[in-house]
Structure 1
Amino acid sequence: MTFEVMTDVRCFDFDRIVSAIQDSYWGQGRSDADIRLAFAGSAVVGVFEDGQQVAVARATTDTVFYAYIFDLIVFESHRGRGLARVLMDALFAHPKLKEVSGWMLSTRDAHGLYTQYGFAPVEPGRTMWMRRT
């Protein structure tokens, strides 16, 4: 199986993305329009298999000092295949993000994934912080 990483938001399957975000613990109450606007203003990565989107993530950034990761989602049908790591690697390699030194994200779960990338809890059980050197 070959996965393709894309950074052009125009290729993304927003019906699927919006549904997944609205079903998540962090995205309940977000409108379709707000989700689309947030992606339009972010550095984005999507993973595709056979032309179908199977995962997505975005980050906001100043391109130098800070980036904040949002909405990292592997669609349920493709979980357990290492795609969260593909998304993380793609975010760190993204042209708008590759020089960023300080990263943040907020999560209730997946701490094991994020610690592999140097994130450490700042606030017990929720926020994790990482600096790239």
Structure 2
Amino acid sequence: MVAIDWRALAERRLSRLTEVEHDIAVARDRLDYFQANYRTLLQQSEERLRQIQALERELDELRTARARARGALRRWILALPQRAKGLIRAMLRVALRLPLARPLARRLARLFPGLGNRLRASVNASQPTP
């Protein structure tokens, strides 16, 4: 029969238990460290998400403003011919009243043939009848 040295066995088990407890303590410290880092990263990601959402709202506002500006620019460009006609008519009216500017009125009438009849009618209407 083999004699068992209980004291040595108890010391080995106690030292192993101490090692395991130390390993558990180290693992708990690492877990606490990782949890703290996780919480920090989670807070940072939530803050970044809020920033992204604010930027998306600002981008939507800018897109809306751009669409409004495009519409206004398009309306302005489409209205240019009408404004040009009005400006030309006003210039012709002024030119018809000034004898020195009548050559300019003739040139404008040549550039815009459709206005020739109107120009003649305006000249005839502005001249006093004898």
For normalisation by structure 1, the TM-score amounts to 0.22
Q: Is the radius of gyration larger for structure 1 or structure 2? A: 2
Q: Which has the higher contact order (CA 8 A, sep 6+)?
A: 1
Greater percentage in strand: 1
For normalisation by structure 2, the TM-score amounts to 0.23
